[in-house]
Amino acid sequence: MHSITPATRADLPHLVSLLHLLFTQEADFQPDAALQTAALEHILDFPQTGTILVARSGRDVVGMISLLFTISTAKGGPVCWLEDMIVHPDHRGEGTGARLLTAAIDYARAHGFLRITLLTDADNSAAQQLYRRHGFTDSRMSVLRLHLGRE
């Protein structure tokens, strides 16, 4: 069974590698190691912006999940975005994704967050099933984006 711990700067190469896998799977994104490194460093250096949890198998990082923090005027308090979640393909089917998601939900509850929101590819039914098993529900909101740079 993999342990779930907070990420550290020493984990950056593993995290960038995992995000490369994730962004080659997601329809809207492309991997860019420099961009992913900068964003991960920011989260690690400024913990008020978010947190990253990792699944470890010995010294190896085999999965990650990140939460980014904001305020919701609708909820009247702090909420978070589940920004990234990925388990290395060699470790899928072992319950690692479920354990990462449970750890992130527990973290959010323990820190007083009122909601977790996430996006997933419309055709990623396996991920959607996992999220639903953990209490996530479909939203009637539609996602729109305005890209302001780095396209």
pLDDT number for residue 4? 98
Q: What is the CA radius of gyration of the chain?
A: 15
pLDDT number for residue 59? 86
Q: What is the DSSP letter of 129?
A: H
Residue 36 and residue 74: Cα distance in Å, rounded?
A: 30
Residue 119 and residue 70: Cα distance in Å, rounded?
A: 16
pLDDT number for residue 149? 79
Q: Give the total residue count for the chain.
A: 151
If phi > 0 it is left, if psi is from -120 to 50 it is alpha, else beta; for residue 138 that is: beta
Q: Give the pLDDT of the chain (151 residues) as one tens digit per residue.
A: 789 999 999 999 999 999 999 999 887 888 999 999 999 999 999 999 999 999 999 889 999 999 999 999 999 999 999 999 999 999 999 999 999 999 999 999 999 999 999 999 989 999 999 999 999 999 999 999 898 976 5
Q: Which residue has the tokens 């991997």?
A: 31
Q: Where are the beta strands (DSSP E) in the chain?
A: 3-6, 50-57, 60-72, 77-87, 116-118
- For residues 112 and 104, the answer to whether their CB atoms sit within 8 Å is no
| Among candidate residues 20, 8, 11, 39, the one with its CA nearest the CA of residue 88 | 20
- For residues 37 and 23, the answer to whether their CB atoms sit within 8 Å is no
